[in-house]
Amino acid sequence: MLAVLSPGQGSQKPGFLTPWLDLPGTEARLRWWSALAGVDLVHLGTAADADEIKDTARTQPLLVAAALLAAEHLPMQDVTLTAGHSVGELGATSLAGVLTPEAAVTLAAVRGRAMAAACALESTGMAALLGGDPGEVLAMVEKHGLHPANRNGAGQVVAAGSLGGLEKLAAEPPARARVRQLQVAGAFHTPYMAPAEATLAAVAAGITPADPTTILLSNLDGAAVNHGREMVQRLIRQVTAPVRWDLCLRTLADLGVTGVIELPPAGTLAGLVKRELKGEAAPEIVTLNTPDDLPAARDLIARHSGLGGHEPIIQFRVVVSPAAGTFVPADELAEGVDLRAGQIIGHVATRQGSVEVTAHDSGLLTEWLAHHDDPVAPGQPLARIGGHT
């Protein structure tokens, strides 16, 4: 199984888009998206210095645009799973077919401006905690009135909140943990961003999303999302909710992902994957930073997608588990029957109760991929819907 990952804020580097502008049509595409975003993406990706691209209002549309530009040169129809970190979720959601590229870049620009404005309301910040006992780290974050804004896995937690609370955390760090202050505008992914969440919700209400054509993971809980409208609501909620990249990594492991491509500017997420998914679970990774990396990325997709050759391909949509638990298919629902969009095809029994599983599109129930009482993980394929084309 092949996963494509879209990085978030902090991964940008001065001039990282320069080599991509040598590809035909790239500069024109960037100028079109610049008009939508209200910032000069060509300048930001090529000539801007580190301070200029650190600006939240500029960085967020730049990162989404970079991911989408690179993905245009990959056979994305052969990719099984997409996921993104923080604002990278907008890129991943577009690659999964939920948002158009124009909608993703526009929302990234609105999100960036709104979060920058929210940062200006109060003096807040963020600090990375590296190492230590996870429970002790979270307890110390809470003790100082801070929020665990990012839980990235591999022993990384990002605390966010008041500058006073961050100073106390630095003076009294958890045992065996290092605290590193981050150069950011404010406390992202915390209640301090509530005004930005409201602004993004107002704009996103005018978008008509499609349902995902790949497995699409959510930062909220690492779960795969079947419905486009639900994913948009999660993107809005994510402005004030913690980024649970640790749970996304767990889902990658549970699904047995064997190949990973990180879109530009690549390296941060690949590092987290390497540190978290080790041994037999370690996937093959390609960091896609320049067009010179495209052949390796295409080769990885060819070898790990499970598709290839010139035989007719079965076109299907995969219904995936929304939660961890035990799968129970609907009674008397056999392979080959016609399904309607929104029809309940089963449920997942979890510790918190029963979670319904619905068909996100109409078509034939081509194949059950999980059966009665099978244990399932978030994002695990349960059924295929569709037919031959």
**Interatomic CA distance for residues 97 and 68, integer angstroms:** 12
Residues 6+ apart with CB under 8 A from 248: 83, 217, 218, 219, 222
- Give me the phi and psi of 193, to 5 degrees please: -95, 15
**What is the phi/psi pair of residue 79, to 5°?**
-90, 135
User: How does DSSP classify residue 378?
Assistant: T
Residue the block writes with tokens 């970190």? 85
| Dihedral sign from CA coordinates of 362, 367, 369, 374 | positive
**Residue 12 φ/ψ, nearest 5 degrees:** -70, 150
Tokens describing residue 238: 């994510």
Between strands 124-131 and 177-182, the pairing is antiparallel
- 196 residue type, one letter: A
Which sequence positions are flagged as catalytic? Answer: 86, 189
Tokens of 110: 């609105």
d(CA 231, CA 217) in angstroms, rounded, equals 9
262 contact partners, CB below 8 Å, separation of at least 6: 4, 5, 6, 7, 268, 269, 270, 285, 286, 287, 288
Q: Please report the sign of the dihedral spanned by the C-alpha atoms of residue 1, residue 95, residue 290, residue 151.
A: negative
Of 248, 227, 298, the closest CA to residue 71 belongs to 298
